[in-house]
Chain A
Amino acid sequence: MNRIDQKFKEDKKLLSLYFSAGFPNLEDTVPILKNLEAAGVDMVEIGLPFSDPLADGPTIQESSTQALRNGMTTEKLFSQLEGIREHVNIPLVLMGYFNPMMQYGIEKFLARCAAVGIDGLIIPDLPVDVYHEQYKTLFDQHGLYNMFLITPQTPENRIRYIDQVSNGFIYMVSSAAVTGAQSTFGNTQTDYFQRIAQMNLTTPTVVGFGISNAATYQAASLHSRGAIIGSAFIKFLEEKGVDKIGKFVRSIRD
């Protein structure tokens, strides 16, 4: 069974963290993953840096740019992840834009993902229709999941379609926004979380974008299976460093 499915069988709200691979330092990838698992995080999104991350806000773009300056490449990331499954058991999701994957070669990219123990991918600029028609078979062959985003503006029939094509989880974007930390959620967001919960989708949902602290984490996971934190975690890594990860995780969960 895919580690993502296994994780969602656990009877708890999930906490997932995102970081840009190669940031703050090129060789931080493995230490960050180990520390996250030790701190009790349920799942990790590893960001494959891209020069032009359209869906991301300034924090993630800057960390991506820094990671590229540090020398991060697709090949480098795979070599860092080799052997990671000897140390880390939680689900690992690779999140990146489609162009670097195309240049690496999609088949080769997926094969490497599977070989190092990646469980699934999130590719913000690969639309569900194109995935469904052209790439799903290839993902299935490698046992890799592909997760899709929905937003408050996504029409209901499209959410149903995404639910049908998806596996793993559906990534609910909390508001009409690029990634970035917010301190609270308003009524519109809570209404949207409830509306999606009432659709009774077959794929579990996780909320991301704009989650930065215990309050937003709790609000987001009230009507979903959990939440993903990116920008706030990256800021923490930059300020406090890789060794203090446990402190960040406790600040969200406690």
Chain B
Amino acid sequence: MNYNVDEKGYYGDFGGAFIPEMLYPNVAELRESYLKITAEPDFKKEFDALLKEYVGRPTPLYFAKRLSERYNTKIYLKREDLCHTGAHKVNNTIGQILLAKRLGKTRIIAETGAGQHGVATATVCALMGIECIVYMGELDIKRQAPNVARMKMLGAEVRSAQSGSKTLKDATNEAIRDWINNPVNTHYIIGSVVGPHPYPDMVARFQSVISEETKGQLQELEGRDYPDHVIACVGGGSNAAGLYYHYLNDERVNIIAVEAAGKGIDSGESAATSALGKEGIIHGSKTLLMQTPDGQITEPYSISAGLDYPGVGPMHAHLFRTRRAEFISIPDQEAMDWGLTLSQMEGIIPAIETAHAFAALDVRKFGPQEIIVFNCSGRGDKDLDTYIDYFKL
């Protein structure tokens, strides 16, 4: 079985480009050029140099000694939280801004939920001197004031998405509408492995630097370039796609995806798409998504704004359906507790999204000789207010 995208843009039953005709030329231009451009030596050179000198890569693969002792297994953390801007998101925005420049685009748009992708996009636009407009749900703008301020400071315009539920999915709708209205000069930097083909594959490739580095680092540390398990949280799924990428077709590696159960899978306030979703179409991709029986897309919930997306990338839908990956879901409370545990056992304050992944250690047994790599995808600075409220710090 192949777990990469096929030549038509599908992962098994999922993916494709279910887009209005108005978007066809934009998406076709990307589809026809992304592999060619990203394979050019000049592109690779500039991408690698920026990842090294600007983002701070390679990020360390850190052996978490105290955590390993407690769980009697070998736990490594891929430290994406040490990337410039505080999360893995910037790997993708660097790649896409370089692509946009080569396509002659002069205006960038993006969607953001918690603001991390918005900040990562505003950052690379500032770096390149390109106009940047970030769509953000009206409710999220209120909830994530520090990131809104960061984007503004970086010179981006933050536009409030007022339609529908006024959150991430609506910000995505507004960004897509903007792209329809500005088909020639604008590139849309999608922040996750979602959207019409080629976005899921393109974003996964830019994020694949995570597993590429992991291979080399494991070889050095353990004498083999693969772990027994890779574990990451999944909202749309970009950090997970990056960590899984070079292991997708390596059956020695077990893949674990951790979704946000919110207040519990059956509570009506959850973001566990694999458990609650059905096959359908969201933002131009056929995938699993949370919806009413009548096919209206529903609003998910998680305490972590980065995981409350009603769908999941088509690659992950395929990994779920084929059982290539194990999917588990973790409620708010356990994730928050893990935020504290990781802080106090390893001195690393994780993003709440990231904290979800670590809770896999309580759900599942791992052997003493097994090697586990977690994607420590983001740092917790942006979540301090939530942590403060929750733990009465």
Q: Which residues of A contact B (CB under 8 A)?
A: 50-55, 57-58, 61-62, 65, 68, 73-75, 97-104, 124-128, 130, 148-151, 153-155, 158, 173, 176-178
Contact = CB atoms under 8 A, between A and B. Distances in A.
Contacts of B295: 50, 74, 99-104
B296 A50 contact: yes
A222 to B, nearest CB: 23
A101 B163 CA distance: 22
A54 B20 contact: yes
A127 B296 contact: no
A102 B19 contact: no
Contacts of A124: 20-21
B66 interface: no
A177 to B, nearest CB: 5
A158 to B, nearest CB: 7
Contacts of A103: 278, 280, 291, 293-295
Nearest to A97: B281
B163 A125 contact: no
Given A100-B294, A130-B18, A158-B24, 6 more contacts: A54-B176, A55-B22, A65-B164, A99-B291, A103-B294, A150-B21
A60 to B, nearest CB: 11
Interface string B263-301: 000000000000000111111100000010111111000
A52 B284 contact: no
A126 B18 CA distance: 6
Contacts of B297: 51-52, 99
Interface stretch (B95-103, B149-157, B177-185, B323-331): B177-185
Query: Would you list the 7 A-B pairs with minimal beta carbon distance, nearest first?
Result: A100-B295, A103-B295, A55-B20, A149-B21, A51-B296, A153-B25, A124-B20
B16 interface: yes
B180 A55 contact: yes
Interface string B162-190: 01100001100100110011111000000
Residue of B20, B182, B278, B280 with most chain A CB atoms under a 10 A cut-off: B20
Interface in B89-139: none
A73 B294 contact: yes
Contacts of A149: 20-22
A50 B169 CA distance: 13
Contacts of B279: 102
Given A103-B280, A153-B25, A178-B177, A127 B18 contact: yes
Nearest to A177: B181
A62 B163 CA distance: 8
Contacts of B281: 97-99, 102, 125
Contacts of B182: 176
B183 A127 contact: no
A207 to B, nearest CB: 14
A102 B280 contact: yes
B17 interface: yes
6 contacts: A52-B173, A100-B295, A102-B295, A126-B18, A173-B21, A177-B22
A73 B283 CA distance: 21
B280 A99 contact: yes
Contacts of B180: 54-55, 176-178
A173 B296 contact: no
A246 B287 CA distance: 44
Interface string B17-56: 1111110110000000000000000000000000000000
B197 to A, nearest CB: 11
Contact of B22 (A51, A53, A61, A151): A151
Contacts of B294: 73-75, 100, 103-104
Q: Which of B19, B21, B173, B283 has the most CB of A within 10 A?
A: B21
A100 to B, nearest CB: 3
Nearest to A96: B295
A48 to B, nearest CB: 10
Nearest to A65: B164
A153 B278 CA distance: 34
A154 B24 contact: yes
Contacts of A155: 25
Contacts of A75: 294
B179 to A, nearest CB: 10
B133 to A, nearest CB: 16
A58 to B, nearest CB: 7
B21 to A, nearest CB: 4
B296 to A, nearest CB: 4
Given A68-B296, A104-B295, A154-B25, A125 B164 contact: no
Given A99-B291, A100-B295, A127 B24 contact: yes
Interface in B1-23: 16-22
Contacts of B164: 51-52, 61, 65
Contacts of A177: 22, 180-181
A241 to B, nearest CB: 25
Nearest to A73: B294
A77 to B, nearest CB: 10
Contacts of B25: 151, 153-155
A54 B170 CA distance: 9
B177 A57 contact: yes
Contacts of B177: 54, 57, 178
Contacts of B283: 52, 54
B169 A52 contact: yes
A163 to B, nearest CB: 13
B68 to A, nearest CB: 44
B19 A127 contact: yes
Contacts of A125: 18-20, 281, 284
